[in-house]
Amino acid sequence: MEKHKVHVNGIDMVYEECGQENEKTIILIHGFCGSSHYWHNVCPLLTEHYRVIMPQLRGHGETSVPDNIYTMEALADDINGLVEKLGIEKTVLFGHSLGGYVTLAFADKYPDKLSGFGLIHSTALPDTEEMKRKRYQDIAFIQKEGIEPYVHELIPKLFKESKRQDMPDEVEKVKEAGLKMSAKGAIHTLEGMMMRPDRSAMLHEACYPILLVAGADDEVVSPDDTFSVNEQETPKTTYEYPHIQENTFEGVAHMSLFEAPEQLARVIANYLRTLGEKEPVRAL
């Protein structure tokens, strides 16, 4: 994998890539307190047919940490800056958790630049009042205690308990990515996540296939939240929309990128093959 740095949207953004430049480009966006490292187990499984770009969002990894609220729209603007810098006319985005919120903001602002997108352990729904209260508590905790104890408490909860025991090295790698964040970057990201709107209408209105992946044991973003599509204030499931490919991973929590990378790569590859088909096939 190659690491690069570009100046976009007023920041220095670091990204990694693998695959061949002459292949179709897909972009994999990591989650909160993560980095491009989140996708290292998945990326090599997709390089035969795709050029894979893995950016590090502002405030994360080695990318700049500006002192303002990181709205999902601002993060989407950063991704757009990267897309333009690399001369990519059209792409497919896959966003994990926070990365899914950014993906939706990008799809909202730059629809002509997408052929499709996937939400991995994410949701189009906004924060509930309870979730906002929890984010305020997290901000207060980070301000008082710092980023290190916050990361040590947060990361294990992302994995299924049995997986934490089976893959301690992977859990530690995820912690290491989180510990590279500054308190300022984490706080500004939490502030931005609270501000995101309800974008669930984008799912049922999309003119191309959409991929949704949930972990059956995910305690961060439940499958119900991943698969919920709201229309005129009446919740509906994705089964009423045949262009939405719904996948639930059994025995997986919030981190299929580490807990089941081969399964996730297969589902992503299957989804990518459906793009352009008149009748999208639901991934198995």
Q: Is the dihedral of CA 28, 62, 14, 42 positive or negative?
A: negative
- Quickly state the pLDDT bin for 72 (edges 50, 70, 90): very high
How high is the pLDDT of residue 141?
98
Amino acid at 81: G
- Residue 250 to residues 146, 174, 212, 213: CA-CA distances in angstroms? 35, 21, 14, 11
- Average pLDDT value for residue range 238-256: 85
| Strands across the sheet containing 50-55 | 2-8, 11-18, 50-55, 24-29, 91-96, 114-120, 210-215, 244-249
Question: If 0-12 CB within 10 Å is exposed, 13-18 middle and 19+ buried, where does residue 101 land?
Answer: buried
Region of 74 on the Ramachandran plot (φ > 0 left; ψ -120 to 50 alpha; else beta): alpha
pLDDT at 92 over 60: yes
- Quickly state the pLDDT bin for 20 (edges 50, 70, 90): confident
- Average pLDDT value for residue range 89-115: 97
pLDDT above 90 as % of the chain: 83
How high is the pLDDT of residue 243?
86
Range 2-274 classified under CATH 3.40.50.1820: yes
- Residue 240 to residues 31, 73, 117, 274: CA-CA distances in angstroms? 28, 29, 19, 18
pLDDT tens for each residue of 269-282: 999 998 854 333 33
Helices (H), the chain: 72-85, 98-109, 129-145, 147-154, 161-166, 168-179, 183-194, 201-205, 223-227, 256-259, 261-274
Tokens representing 200 are: 């669930």
